[in-house]
Chain A
Amino acid sequence: MRCLDPRSGQDTCCIFWHATMIWGLWSGSTDGIFGPVRNPWGYSRQYKEKLITTGQCKEEPDWVITGGSSGGSAAAVAALTCFAALGSDTGGSTRNPAAHCGVVGLKPTYGLVSRHGLIPLVNSMDVPGILTRSVDDAATVLGVLHGHDPKDSTTVHHSFESFSLPDEVDVKNISIGIPKELQPSTQAVAFISPYEYPMPLAKTGRILNSGMIDRNYDRYFVKAQKVRRLIAEDFIKVFNSGVDVLLTPTTLSDAACYKDFIKEDNRTRSAQEDIFTQSANMAGLPAVSIPVALSARNLPVSLQLIGQRFREVDLLTIAKWFEQQVNFEAIDLQISDNIEKLPKKKTASTA
């Protein structure tokens, strides 16, 4: 299906599949109106083989969650049903399911891609996210979507140009920063390599994103804004000191199976999940999650790269190098064996 980009009049790719997406900041994509989303990797040969040996997750329901909130989109790409999918990313909602589903999840720079039509969660941090199976594909989709949109006053007029990535990537002079210390508590996160500033990162996230607005919002809101600016400035310091991109894991662990996921309170569990991803939204920076290996349970594990504003070309070039090095295994979906176990078609009422 071909369609025209309304802005440039040029041919562009078209999204013609609508996947299940969840509106929310933290979730496992398990509470949608059409039912929970199941991770295709849970039906892969790789995962099933390991199951037999480890003996985990044998009882029903034994399917694996996708993470969230753009779990449907990630699952659609991972299950080979489409070339690419769109999600949203406010605190990691594209990168998180990308990591769990073993696909590439790109969060563009804030202001690069129009939010017109995107149901808002936190207007100053939301961006549309891109999910693909390879870094090259992500660059292609970004090439179509970027640019100033008159309908979104927060999109910038930037000299950003569409790009394609080189096949041979030379990383000789690239400097990659790895945060020295990260405390997974909700109180503080220490960040960045040469400077160790403990940042109340997660707490800021809670304040800005939760409904904690009352008469004292001035104190909390202004304080959170100040902390946010400090975070953004720290990133700038790091990049100015010679670091090209930052490297972190995307998530704390591989995807849980559903029955384990629903044991803990959804909020408590999810509260820690965005610890690596939230800061990029705070600072408006681009970040990409790429699958690098399989875990002990043979589920995808991913790494995240965070780059400088509007420097997606550098970010994705380095990501492509990683992708080439790790040569991540393709999913071996065995649908026919699992047909009886697949969920029956539900006649869900539309609200």
Chain B
Amino acid sequence: MAAPLVRACGFCAVKLQRGGWCSKYVLISTNTFAFTIVRPTTVSPQSKPSPRKNDPKQWVGVVGLEIHAQIHSNTKLFSGARVQFSAPPNSLVSFFDASLPGTLPVINRRCVEAAVMTSLALNCSINKKSLFDRKHYFYADLPAGYQITQHRLPIAVNGSLSYSHLVGQKWNQAVVKTVRIKQIQLEQDSGKSLHDDTRKQTLIDLNRAGVALMEIVMEPDMSCGEEAAAAVRELQLILQALGTCQGNMAEGQLRVDANISVHQPGDPLGVRTEVKNINSARFLAKAIDFEIQRQIDVLVNGGVVHNETRTFDFKLGQTIPMRDKESLQDYRFIPEPNLPPLIVYDNESTPVNADPQQVINIDLIRKNLPELPSAKRTRLVDQYGILPEHSFVLVSEDGLTEYFVSVLQETKAEPKKVIGWVIKELLALLKHYSLTVSQSHISPSSLAELLNLLEMGVISSPAAKQVFLLMWKECDKSPQQIVKEQDLGLVQNEKILEEICQNVLDGHLEEVAAIKKGNKRVLNKLIGLVQKEMKGRADPIMVKTLLERKIS
């Protein structure tokens, strides 16, 4: 009797032919009475896998980023049309942007300077001679049919970006990581297409066509969403400090595409996918983590990752394949015939009789670079003795450093004390009400006044916190006023305090006994109870002294 060819998989009951493959197991042999089912670790339809392949924990993500940063300039890269967000459609379009025949590109000096500044800040080597190319493809928002970019020889290569990645249970340990910058190139932005499905038409707005972009390519040195998000946030801070890009992802000034693959350490890199349509650093982290997990799931289940472009749907929190999956594009790169090579100079190579208007000197630009975020953080730690994670927060929040310094100027309180107020109390309120530092209800002077009251012992620390909240709500009242009105002044009347202390001691004989035995920490509980009675206004030192005296 012929061996039955079909069996039900003993594990998932799917009917299998010999060699058949259900989601987890394969039927490899069968005879009349027995069949053998094995798990894919030993036999798989793909090549010989290692036993680790099934273990999701063994896979690591490999993430690279392609970032397009819109250069902050008055006019576009090759034409004199103005750059402005949210202008009426097609109101900022020159003949060149509309690609009318007979127009020619003329490079914008400010854009080259911005690219050089950014490249220097990212530790790149500047190519003193770089070239422009045409990248051809057809799309309605690209009227010329090509984009002018720098394909063969970009303006800068081989840089690095260091960023802090917060780890640990309380996110209080900062690990410094570095990602290599492959290159930075200048290129044109395209126009915008707005799809009107109701009337089945696409509307084209060319305001953005021709705006200068810096494409910053980061090597796949990152391994998860959080790292990528941290790198992007650091890049945003750098660009904003330089003034070369405003870095607002929501407004499209900074666009990030992620290239993601997974592999097992030691194995060659896996097939990568590209994820687009990410408009915040938070979504970037989500999209990357989702995609890494998706790829791991596919591979663990014996599937294959396809090289494709996916879009991030932030509502679902998932990446999904983009509708038009094109085959490999041939961009037909040719040198841009209307632009000579871009030459930048340094002190040595600047021609003697050069017109300074016509020459870009990278040494001069390097000299005039503003303070970068990393340098600022180090300086704040050295100058004020605050902790690195504090300076991290100060630099990350726009205007917070200036606020902090202003407060310090008007109070005798130590920086270490002030920083707590700025980072914990003030920032918490700002975040709660979604306000920027400049919109704070409490000015640096007011906070300084409050801290002075605290320093002088007029109020206690818990009381100060109450006053702070009231100051926020009643912006026009000074701290002294509030203290007076709410009667939050520190109580230092020994008689009153003694009475309260005695009451507390009488009511907690167990704790008293414990303290007498040597457990000093219980004293804090008693202090707390006294403060509770006094609504936090008792002089803490006096309370402690009194209690200790009474107990012993």
* B100 and chain A: residue at smallest CB distance: A119
Q: Which residues of the partner chain A approach B105 to less than 8 Å between Cβ atoms?
A: 153
Q: Which residues of the partner chain B approach A150 to less than 8 Å between Cβ atoms?
A: 106
Are A151 and B104 in contact, with the CB atoms below 8 A?
yes
- Residues of A101-145 at the interface with B, using a CB-CB cut-off of 8 Å, are 115-120, 122-124
The answer, yes or no, to whether B470 is at the interface (CB within 8 Å) is no
Are A153 and B106 in contact, with the CB atoms below 8 A?
yes
Stretch at the interface among A58-66, A167-175, A213-221, A314-322: A213-221
Stretch at the interface among B221-229, B332-340, B450-458: B332-340
CB distance from B100 to the nearest CB of A (A): 9
Are A154 and B338 in contact, with the CB atoms below 8 A?
yes
- Residues of B339-358 at the interface with A, using a CB-CB cut-off of 8 Å, are 339-340
Q: Which residues of the partner chain A approach B330 to less than 8 Å between Cβ atoms?
A: 214-215
Q: How far is the CA of A213 from the CA of B137 in the complex (A)?
A: 13
- Residues of A169-224 at the interface with B, using a CB-CB cut-off of 8 Å, are 213-215, 217, 221
The answer, yes or no, to whether B36 is at the interface (CB within 8 Å) is no
Are A153 and B102 in contact, with the CB atoms below 8 A?
no
Q: How far is the CA of A120 from the CA of B103 in the complex (A)?
A: 9
Q: How far is the CA of A214 from the CA of B101 in the complex (A)?
A: 23
* B337 and chain A: residue at smallest CB distance: A123
* A126 and chain B: residue at smallest CB distance: B337
Q: Which of the listed residues A118, A119, A123, A124 has the most CB atoms from chain B within 10 Å of its own CB?
A: A123
Given known A-B contacts A153-B107, A153-B339, A154-B338, A119 and B332 have beta carbons under 8 A apart = no
Are B102 and A124 in contact, with the CB atoms below 8 A?
no
Q: Which residues of the partner chain A approach B101 to less than 8 Å between Cβ atoms?
A: 119-120
Are B334 and A116 in contact, with the CB atoms below 8 A?
no
CB distance from A31 to the nearest CB of B (A): 18
Are B104 and A115 in contact, with the CB atoms below 8 A?
yes
* B103 and chain A: residue at smallest CB distance: A116
- Residues of A34-91 at the interface with B, using a CB-CB cut-off of 8 Å, are none
Q: How far is the CA of A217 from the CA of B334 in the complex (A)?
A: 9
Residues of A in contact with B, size category: 10 to 19
Q: Which residues of the partner chain A approach B107 to less than 8 Å between Cβ atoms?
A: 153
CB distance from B301 to the nearest CB of A (A): 36
The answer, yes or no, to whether A5 is at the interface (CB within 8 Å) is no
Interface bits B490-521 vs A (CB < 8 Å: 1, else 0) = 00000000000000000000000000000000
Q: How far is the CA of A125 from the CA of B105 in the complex (A)?
A: 17
CB distance from A58 to the nearest CB of B (A): 41
The answer, yes or no, to whether A329 is at the interface (CB within 8 Å) is no
CB distance from B331 to the nearest CB of A (A): 10
Q: Which residues of the partner chain A approach B338 to less than 8 Å between Cβ atoms?
A: 123, 152-154
Are B103 and A153 in contact, with the CB atoms below 8 A?
no
CB distance from B342 to the nearest CB of A (A): 10
Q: Which residues of the partner chain B approach A151 to less than 8 Å between Cβ atoms?
A: 104, 106
Q: Which residues of the partner chain B approach A119 to less than 8 Å between Cβ atoms?
A: 101-102
Are A124 and B337 in contact, with the CB atoms below 8 A?
yes
Q: How far is the CA of A124 from the CA of B104 in the complex (A)?
A: 12
CB distance from A24 to the nearest CB of B (A): 13
Q: How far is the CA of A116 from the CA of B79 in the complex (A)?
A: 13
- Residues of A211-261 at the interface with B, using a CB-CB cut-off of 8 Å, are 213-215, 217, 221
Are B332 and A213 in contact, with the CB atoms below 8 A?
yes
Choose from A120, A122, A221 the contact partner of B102 (Cβ within 8 Å): A120
CB distance from A109 to the nearest CB of B (A): 15
Interface bits A152-169 vs B (CB < 8 Å: 1, else 0) = 111000000000000000
CB distance from B355 to the nearest CB of A (A): 10
- Residues of B83-104 at the interface with A, using a CB-CB cut-off of 8 Å, are 101-104
* Chain B residues with a Cβ under 8 A of chain A: 101-107, 330, 332, 334, 337-340
7 contacts between A and B (CB under 8 A): A116-B103, A118-B102, A119-B101, A123-B338, A150-B106, A213-B332, A217-B332
Query: Which 3 residue pairs of A and B lie closest in terms of their CB atoms, listed nearest first?
Result: A123-B337, A119-B101, A124-B337
* Chain A residues with a Cβ under 8 A of chain B: 115-120, 122-124, 150-154, 213-215, 217, 221
